[in-house]
A and B are shown apart, each in its own frame.
Chain A
Amino acid sequence: MSALLTVSDAHISYGKVEAVRSVSLEVGANQIVTIIGANGAGKTTLLNAIMGVLPMKGGVTFGGEDMSRLDIEDRVASGLSLVPEHRELFGTMSVEDNLQLGAFRIARATAARSFERVYTLFPRLKERRKQLAGTLSGGEQQMLAMGRALMGAPKLLMLDEPSLGLAPLIVADIFRTVGELRAAGVSVLLVEQNAQAALKIADHAYVMELGEFVLAGPAPEIATNQQVVASYLGFQHA
């Protein structure tokens, strides 16, 4: 089976500083892949570059198509979607408008079905559909950000720190939804600091340190790796 997303030998620099060095990764169809690592390791940078928000050297292929020359908007149109760290919602617009704009590139009929799907996945959003996005709680904003991305019926959803600043209960909810997405045929590339939770639901994992992948493998294997346990899973609780 050929991979849905392939990144090969990615280099990303801010000015003279190279934030990501020689990184390659693959996400297969119906797969959850996670990238874990400390603050400043370059995870967010990598996601942004895959989406086209930041320029990078190296190859990005998605669904067999070369993405490296395309703008963000064209990558969106080919089924790649990013829920960024800061969510980037339209704060002064209603939940419904936010979702409707998520389907900007899609035919009207498909959008109607997307609405149904998102409201089933996040019933809370349906309750709040007339409310302004900026007035939602942190957890609801994260749901809206994911919902908006899903409105475009993406083949791959990239999530940047979805658990950031959220209460444990809500985090559990979000991760459960991520699992449901895979079941619905959406692949997920998940960047998380909450390594424990991420490794639990992921099929495959990469460990990033100082802009490089230092470890890669099936998630259960990574979760029990001594080095990973020591640096990312907090304390020697095992």
Chain B
Amino acid sequence: MNTTILLFLIQDGITNGAIYALLGLALVLVFAVTRVILIPQGEFVTYGALTYATLSAGQTPGTAQLAVAMGIVAFGIDLFLARKSLHAMRVFRAFAVDIVFPCAILGLTLFAAGRHNTIAINTALSLLIVAAIGLFLYRIAFQPIAHTSVLVLLIASVGCHLAMQGFGLVFFGAEGLRGPAISNAALTIGPLSFSGQSLAVYGITIAFIVCLWLFFGYTLYGKALRATAVNRLGARLVGIRTSLSGQLAFLLASVIGALSGILIVPITTLYYDTGFMIGLKGFIVAIIGGLVSYPITAFAAFGVGIVEAFSSFYASNFKEVIVFTLIIPVLVLRSLAAPEVEEEQD
């Protein structure tokens, strides 16, 4: 093997790994806070990427309407749950979050569609749309069953994935899409040449991880999220609402998912169902991290990215087989190292 190929593969692996790291972190976060294994994370990726691509092509993405529709359902649930103690304030707040917020986004989207927007505007709009979907997804599908077992949450999660993937096909069609690159610059250092987009991937990933670190380490809400993850009952006893933490976690996860999508859609063509596979690789990474450790998760992400890059070069037919069976030795090690988990009370 010559050095150029080697370096190219490593570079490719790191680019993918960066994305998996983001997704893995989001999955760990959501699981720790809500105990939901977020299968629809992949759909956040697809929605983000394809919304961005659609906006860039000057069209209105269906996801904006979906956000409004989900907001209306969430409003209905809010009203139903609060039926015994309806305060004007409560209704007003629910109305603002569930109806006004997504409608404003839809308005902006309709206004922006067909114009020649900057990449920044399209990115921001896509992130907003997917963030609203993520928030309402938690509100509708998970908040009513937040107290149930991991298994029940997992089944609901699978349901969300199926429905969102179906909507993805309706909105974006079966054809794949590509979006414009954030940067077209190119950089060459010795034998290495970096495309602007891959530099953007590194830069944004690092920036985002730093932001997350600051958020969790230094803000009250970040600490509250961590507290919920560490001890749910403890968090409730100091007055942190589980529903608030859950919504925050989903908001973050959907933004992370959408951002990952926007970052890769200029590099690879994405289809309505591509996100599922990307999301699953995020899972592999998260499982290696034991669904608890952020540093191990990030580290594993680069490992998986590099293995994927090399196997797609040497055994492209078996790329997916190799990536997905990578988890088995990890699990073996885990089951040898850790004693059996105590039975879950359900």
Contact = CB atoms under 8 A, between A and B. Distances in A.
A-B complex is real: yes
A90 B224 CA distance: 10
Nearest to B232: A88
Contact of B234 (A71, A88, A105): A88
Interface stretch (A1-9, A94-102, A165-173, A225-233): A94-102
Interface in B192-235: 220, 223-224, 226-227, 230-231, 233-235
Contacts of A76: 236-239
Given A72-B236, A81-B237, A91 B224 contact: no
A91 B220 contact: no
Contacts of A104: 220, 224, 238-240
Interface in B221-265: 223-224, 226-227, 230-231, 233-241
A93 B84 contact: no
Contact of B223 (A89, A101, A151): A101
A51 B220 contact: no
A72 B241 CA distance: 9
Contacts of B238: 76, 101-102, 104-105, 148-149, 151-152
Interface in A111-125: none
Given A69-B85, A100-B220, A101-B223, A152 B239 contact: yes
B227 A101 contact: yes
B233 A92 contact: no
A89 B240 contact: no
A53 interface: yes
Given A69-B84, A100-B223, A88 B231 contact: yes
A221 interface: no
Nearest to A111: B220
A180 interface: no
Main secondary structure of the interface of B (DSSP, over half): helix
Contacts of A102: 238
A84 B226 contact: no
Interface string A67-81: 001011100110001
Interface residues of A, number: 28
A195 interface: no
A96 B226 CA distance: 14
A207 interface: no
Contacts, number: 68
A69 B85 CA distance: 9
Contacts of A105: 238-239
Given A89-B231, A90-B231, A84 B237 contact: yes
Contacts of A32: none
Contact of A92 (B220, B224, B230): B230
B87 to A, nearest CB: 12
Given A100-B220, A104-B220, A93 B226 contact: yes
A215 B238 CA distance: 32
Contacts of A152: 238-239
A94 to B, nearest CB: 10
Contacts of A81: 237
17 contacts: A69-B85, A71-B241, A72-B236, A76-B236, A77-B239, A88-B234, A90-B226, A90-B235, A93-B223, A97-B223, A101-B220, A101-B227, A101-B235, A101-B238, A101-B240, A104-B224, A149-B238
Q: Give 4 nearest A-B pairs by CB, closest first.
A: A88-B234, A76-B239, A105-B239, A90-B230
